Amino acid sequence: MNLRALLLASAVSGALFSVGAQAADMTIGFSQIGSESGWRAAETTVSKAEAKKRNINFKIADAQQKQENQIKAIRSFVAQGVDAIFLAPVVATGWDSVLKEAQEAKIPVVLLDRDIDPAGKDLYLTAVTSDSVHEGKVAGEWLVKTAAGKPCNVVELQGTVGASVATNRKKGFEDGIAGASNVKIVRSQTGDFTRAKGKEVMESFIKAEGGGKNICAVYAHNDDMMVGAIQAMKEAGLKPGTEVLTVSIDAVPDIFKAMAAGEANATVELTPNMAGPAFDAIIAFKDKGTMPPKWIQTESKLYTQADNPMAVYESKKDLGY
C-alpha cells in the first residue's frame, strides 16, 4: 500500500515535473540594445519578469548601442549552447554571418521590437514587433470617432525627421483620418521626440493658429512631446483635455498622470512586453514543434481617461521608463 502510494506519488510528481521541466530547463539569451530610452529600460524589466513567470533561465547582454557587442553576445550565447536567442537588433543589416552560426548550432533566434533586412528572413524564427503604422492609425481613428463629424483642425508633433517610427506614425495617422473630411492636419513640425522641443513647437503652433483658438486636437508621435505640448497649452491659457483634444503614442507613465488630471485624452501603447509573446512562441516551438508565424504583431492598445489612468500609472511607474 504505502509503497504503491509512494510510487504513484512519485510518478505523478514526475509527470508534473516533466511538463514544467521543458520551460524550467530552458536557458534563453537576450542581446538587448542598451539603455537608449526609458521604454528600452522598461522592456528589459518586463522581459525579466516574464522570464521569471515561466521559470526560464534568462541571460541579458547589454550591447551599449553597438552592433559589434551584439554580435559578440550572440557568439557567446551560441558557445554556451543556450536553447534560444532573443535579439533586439540595433541596426537592420550585417547580421548574416552571426545568425548563420546560430542556425548551424540549431539555436532559434527571435527578433524583438525591431526587424532586420528582408534578405535575412530565413535566418530567424520569428520577429515580435509593433506595427508603427498601425499605432498611428489607431490614434487617427480615435480622433475621428471623438470629433464625431465636427470640423477638427489637428496640429501634429512629428518625431525626429527621417526616423522610420516618425514616418510610419505619420502615415498611419493620415490613413486613420483619411475617410473623415472634417479632420485635417493644419500644421506639422518635428519636436525631435523630446519634451523641450515638443513644448517649443507647440508654443509656436498656438501663436500661428490664433492663440490656439483654431486648434481642435494635438497629435504627437510620442508621449514625451505631448507632455511638453500640454505645458505649452496650459501656459497659453488653453485647457488641454477639454478645449483641445490630445492623442499620442507610447503610453509612458507620465501621460497617465496627465490623463488622470484630465489634461490628456488618449495614448496608444507601444507595449514593453515583447518578450512574453516571444517566450510563448519558443516554448510552443520546442515542446510541440509549432512553427510560429514569421511576424508576431504586438497589440497597439488604446488607453483613454476611462481606463483608470491612475491605476495604469501605478503599475507602470516602476518599470524603469
Partner 1 sequence: MALRLPRIGTSQIVALGLILVANWIVSPQFFDIRVQDGRLFGSLIDVFNRGAPVALLSIGMVLVIAMRGIDLSVGAVMAICGAIAASLADTHSLPVVLAAALGAGLLCGLWNGLLVAVLGIQPIVATLILMVAGRGIAQLITEGRIVTFTSPDLAFLGGGSVLGLPTPVVLTLGMMALTLALVRGTALGLMIEATGGNPRASALAGIGTRFITVGVYVWSGLCAALAGIVASADILGADANNAGLWLELDAILAVVIGGTSLFGGRFSIILAVVGAFIIQAMNTGILLSGFPPETNLVVKAVVVLTVLLAQSPRLGGHFAGIGVLFKRSKSGGKRS
Contact between 47 and partner 1 per CB under 8 A: no
**Which residue among 190, 246, 267, 300 contacts partner 1 (CB under 8 A)?**
190
Q: Which DSSP category does 242 fall into?
A: T
CB of 194 to partner 1, least distance (A): 4
CA 268 – CA 318 distance, rounded (Å) = 20
Side chain identity at 318, as an amino acid letter?
D
**Which residue among 58, 86, 256, 321 contacts partner 1 (CB under 8 A)?**
321
CB of 211 to partner 1, least distance (A): 8
Per-residue mark of binding to partner 1, 233-252 (x: CB under 8 A) = --xxx---------------
What SS3 state is found at 302? strand
CA 2 – CA 160 distance, rounded (Å) = 72
How many residues are given for the chain?
321
Contact between 158 and partner 1 per CB under 8 A: yes
User: CA nearest 157: which of 248, 238, 90, 236?
Assistant: 248
Contact between 219 and partner 1 per CB under 8 A: no
**Which residue among 224, 250, 263, 269 contacts partner 1 (CB under 8 A)?**
224
β-strand pairing of 266-269 with 245-250: parallel
Whether the CB-CB separation of 120 and 95 falls below 8 Å is answered with: yes
Hey, which residues does 194 pair with through a beta bridge? none
Contact between 115 and partner 1 per CB under 8 A: no
Contact between 226 and partner 1 per CB under 8 A: no
Per-residue mark of binding to partner 1, 12-41 (x: CB under 8 A) = -----------------------xxxx--x
Whether the CB-CB separation of 114 and 129 falls below 8 Å is answered with: yes
CB of 224 to partner 1, least distance (A): 7
Closest to partner 1 by CB, 41 or 49? 41
Q: Which DSSP category does 244 fall into?
A: B
Contact between 261 and partner 1 per CB under 8 A: no
CB of 65 to partner 1, least distance (A): 12
Contact between 299 and partner 1 per CB under 8 A: no
Q: Residues 202-237, buried b or exposed e (16+ Cβ, 10 A)?
A: bbebbeebeebeebbbbbbbbbbbbbbbbbbbeeee
Contact between 263 and partner 1 per CB under 8 A: no
Side chain identity at 64, as an amino acid letter?
Q
Residue numbers at the binding site for partner 1 (CB under 8 A): 35-38, 41, 158, 161, 187-190, 192, 194-196, 199-201, 203-205, 207-208, 210, 224, 227-228, 231, 235-237, 254, 320-321
